[in-house]
Chains A and B, each alone.
Chain A
Amino acid sequence: MTEVKEYDWNMLAGIGIVGGLIFIYAAYALNTMMNVTYFSFLGAVGAILAVVWGADAVRRICKYGIGTGVPSIGMLAFGMGLLATLLGLKIGDYAGVVYVGPVAALAIALIQGAIIGYLANAVLKMKIPTMQLGMIFIAGAASIILMGFTVTMAGTFTYGDMITKVFNTGFIAPLFMIGALPMLHPFNACLGPDEDQRRTLTLAVEASLLSTIMFGIFSIALINVVSSAITVVLGLIAWAYAYLAYFKKVKESGVPVVGTGLLPKKEA
């Protein structure tokens, strides 16, 4: 197998932050300016970029072995990200400028991640060199994923809408679980000595598209059938493409199993 250079995680962080925010803002701006809800699916694109960023951070932390299983880190990320996101969106709401919200949410999540990462390395003595930066990254990624999928489900990310449409209706439960899943699942599924960054990240895209389809279905209740159908159809097409891409990656790194027939009944 040829050695392929891994993507730098700072570059993925850049894509996650800038791309994630741009798509979330674009979805909200287009929706409100044109007074429609058809652009909600753009939020999922932002979330997918953040999922790739988060999944890469997860694989860089968990490569060292954290002893508790990979899923725990996704739950930790969402635990950190949830309150930070709410506070950030509330700041935007309080300031009267809705667009401040996601940036504030991301900033608070990054601070939260820095504190937790410091605690894990310095107090709990985990001694994982990538822990500090990795925790910052997964907390930020969780925040963008939460906002991105909120836009997919509800068409907006304002604090009031998030509370009334996502939290009070109970849709936060699937958002918390299937939102975290694409971030923690890829490395959990691909880990091992032959783990390959591109394969893991392809799985991250594939898993997040599955989540997108689910959130698209939920948006029937929160937005309307047309926007939901747009999200679901685009999600399904992209998912089929991502699934085939992942299947190709798996086949590339697979080992052929050759049939040799049964053992002879009598030794020759």
Chain B
Amino acid sequence: MDPITLAIVVIGIAIAGLLVGIGVHFVPVGGAPAAMAQATGIGTGTTMLAMSSGALGLISAGLVTQEIMSGKITYSGFSQAVQSGTLFSLSGLQANLLAIVLIVVAGIVGAMLMMVILAVMANVLYAFAIGVPLVSAKVKFDPITGDRQDLYVTRGTEGHGTPTVAVISSLIGGLLGGAGGALCYIILYGSGFSIGTAAFVAIGIFFVNSVLASYNITGTIEGFHDPKFNRVPRAIIACTIASFVLGVWAAALIFLGV
């Protein structure tokens, strides 16, 4: 295995982990209070949200990978490069860049879909079953629509549901998280890992970064308009180093022959 491929693998996994880590900061996580309509965001923990969007991203990325491999989507040379494990050598990367982009985009689509379903379908329940307006307590006016927020927040709560700005934010989060997860998967799969191994190692890397990022925001955030979002530089450092180390393990595994 040539050293440039290994370097690409390490850097690629570091970038993928970084994307996941930043993506988590965009996802409106409300935790248990949000599940009781007492805080803004999606009513579950960061880990579960990241897992659900990441898993759907992986499934869609895996589907497109399979379609390229089986020839349904014609891309000459891709399956040979995967089978010989040279997809992420310098020449393999040049020849198959578009296929890799296609797979990453598939991951993005899956993750964004999952995020928007989680955000909007819950809103239907909040609005029509619980009967609360969708407002954020962190800002006075919604940065996207300009709607007044503070008048509609029930006293003693921190907002309800997922308002427009948080939905937009969740889409950005899905975009980054999906890209990171799919990139991680295709790097591992293209370097010779079997499908199951690549998927679960990718999920492992995804978990490490999403949990580290959620420690940074101490569990809850509303999106890019939340003051906690200013903590993102810390997560950039932490997630890059953590994924770099994981990337080194993966590269060592590839060096020893998967």
Contacts and interface: CB of A to CB of B under 8 A. Distances in A.
B196 A73 contact: no
23 contacts: A67-B219, A68-B31, A68-B46, A69-B47, A71-B48, A72-B47, A79-B204, A83-B246, A83-B250, A84-B249, A86-B201, A93-B256, A112-B246, A120-B212, A125-B234, A126-B215, A167-B200, A168-B194, A169-B196, A172-B200, A173-B200, A176-B200, A176-B204
Nearest to A76: B211
Interface in A167-204: 167-170, 172-173, 176
Contact of A72 (B211, B241, B242): B211
A123 B215 contact: no
B238 interface: yes
B215 A124 contact: yes
Contacts of B195: 168
Interface string A58-78: 000000001111011101101
A59 B245 CA distance: 26
Main secondary structure on A side of the interface with B: helix
A241 interface: no
Name the 8 nearest CB pairs between A and B, nearest first: A79-B207, A67-B218, A67-B219, A79-B204, A79-B208, A82-B204, A76-B211, A68-B219
Interface of B: 31, 45-48, 51, 194-197, 200-201, 203-208, 211-212, 214-216, 218-220, 234-235, 237-238, 241-242, 245-246, 249-250, 252-253, 256-258
Interface centre among B211, B216, B235, B256 (most CB of A within 10 A): B211
B207 A83 contact: no
A78 B258 CA distance: 20
Contact of A68 (B197, B218, B253): B218
A119 B17 CA distance: 14
B215 A116 contact: no
A103 interface: no
Contacts of A173: 200
Interface residues of A, number: 40
Contact of A90 (B45, B204, B215, B256): B256
Contacts of A66: 215, 218-219
Given A78-B207, A169-B196, A71 B212 contact: no
Contacts of A91: 256
B197 A87 contact: no
Contact of A71 (B47, B220, B234, B250): B47
A120 B212 CA distance: 7
B204 A124 contact: no
Contacts of B196: 167-170, 172
Contacts of A84: 249
A75 B245 CA distance: 18
A172 B201 CA distance: 10
A169 B216 CA distance: 36
Contacts of B246: 80, 83, 112
Given A69-B45, A108-B249, A124-B216, A76 B208 contact: yes
Given A68-B218, A123-B234, A80 B47 contact: no
A221 interface: no
Contacts of B205: 79, 83
B230 to A, nearest CB: 13
Interface centre among A78, A79, A80, A84 (most CB of B within 10 A): A79
A115 interface: yes
A173 B208 CA distance: 17
A233 interface: no
A163 interface: yes
A119 B212 contact: yes
Contacts of B203: 79, 176
Nearest to A70: B45
Contacts of B216: 124
Interface string A123-145: 11110000000000000000000
